[in-house]
A and B are shown apart, each in its own frame.
Chain A
Amino acid sequence: MSTLPFRRGASVNLSTSEVMIVAADPDGLEILAQMFAGFGVHTPRRCNTGEEAMAVVGERELNLMVVDSALGDMDGYAFISWLRRCGVTPNCHAPVILVTGHTKPSQIFKGRDAGASFVVRKPVQPLVMMQRIIWLLNDQRQFVASADYCGPDRRVRAMGPPVGMKGRRHDDLSIEVGEAKTPNLEQDEIDALFSPKAAAL
């Protein structure tokens, strides 16, 4: 338990959350549904196909979706891409955890670029899933909608725009560093800012 990024004894109340789990394999679906029931989700909504999941998106407000990469009638990536652009608010902005067994970098990038909020590798253990949920509870990324991408900001860390590209945000800073507008401080001026004091050891 010590690996959970949460203070010990903290609580999470998922009893009123609406969670949809989508997976083609009935056993994989059952395992995830039992896991979320254990987390306290009252009745996780189960779907076996992408089509069924699309219908649920139009029917009820969802707070979290857990989507397997294999859905039978389509793949999980296609479902997530559809969700992000379907226009059904707030569901199209809801967090989505993509669950996949095959984690080649290309598959992870595909999931990220489809608009998944997080990718979790199979086999999924409850501790790992809870860690990802907690991460999502603290997720403050903005949402991006453009011609070639729709989903949570893929820049998880604030490292600025990609190298060699001009940022598209109003608060993206230029990579060029301008000339200093004021003279450099002398050491005593720096020391004064920190106002060092004698300390008894």
Chain B
Amino acid sequence: MSTARIFRIENRLAKIARTPGGRSIDEAVRSAEARVASVRDRCIASLAGKAEHLAGHAKKARGEREGADVDGMYDVSNAIFGVAGVYGLDALAEAACSLCDLVDRSRSGDEINWSAIDVHVDGIRLLATGETEGSEAIMAGLRRVRARFAPPV
């Protein structure tokens, strides 16, 4: 068994945060929510570009189990999930999270199913353009694909 060195460290963040002044917790959270909302339009506008970027990685990664483009697919869908989720684009966030899961399974050694990935990428591209009319049908299709190729463990 290795020898562990265990020691106390000063919590400098706590020391600074407890100095007089600052803002109330409620006010800080409200201010943060307002500032995050202030960049909403810009962030949402970039989602379509991210979806095209994702499609580019998927095209180049075809046939690979791992590599820069497989990682790229994971990273871009992870980014789409983060932005879409913050701004309440639930269908897009769910589709992106589902794709993360599919890609991660292939990186962990599972069989990669390109048809399932293609369906997700197409769905994400459509949802990222702001398409909301058919979003329920798209999500129902993606959930079926996911249930078949990547059932919850």
Which residues of A are at the interface with B, using a C-beta cutoff of 8 A? Answer: 1, 4, 6, 8-17, 24-28, 30-31, 34-40, 63-64, 68-70, 72, 90, 93-95, 99-102, 104, 122-127, 129-130, 133-134, 136-140, 142-149, 153, 166, 168-169
Contact = CB atoms under 8 A, between A and B. Distances in A.
Contact of A38 (B31, B74, B86): B31
A67 to B, nearest CB: 13
Nearest to A90: B12
Contacts of B9: 90, 93, 142-143
Most buried by B among A26, A123, A146: A123
Given A39-B31, A142-B6, A14 B16 contact: yes
Interface stretch (B18-26, B114-122, B123-131, B140-148): B18-26
Interface residues of B, number: 56
A36 B46 CA distance: 22
B22 A14 contact: yes
Q: Is the interface of A mostly helix, strand, loop or mixed?
A: loop
Contacts of B32: 34-39, 126, 129-130
B66 interface: no
A161 B13 CA distance: 29
A13 B22 contact: yes
Contacts, number: 205
Interface of B: 1-14, 16-26, 28-36, 38-39, 42-43, 46, 50, 74-75, 78-79, 81-86, 93, 96-97, 100-101, 104
Contacts of A8: 26
Given A9-B24, A127-B33, 20 more contacts: A1-B29, A13-B17, A24-B75, A28-B82, A31-B43, A68-B82, A95-B13, A99-B82, A102-B101, A122-B78, A123-B81, A125-B33, A126-B32, A130-B25, A137-B18, A138-B14, A143-B6, A145-B6, A145-B7, A169-B4
Contacts of A127: 29, 33
A84 to B, nearest CB: 12
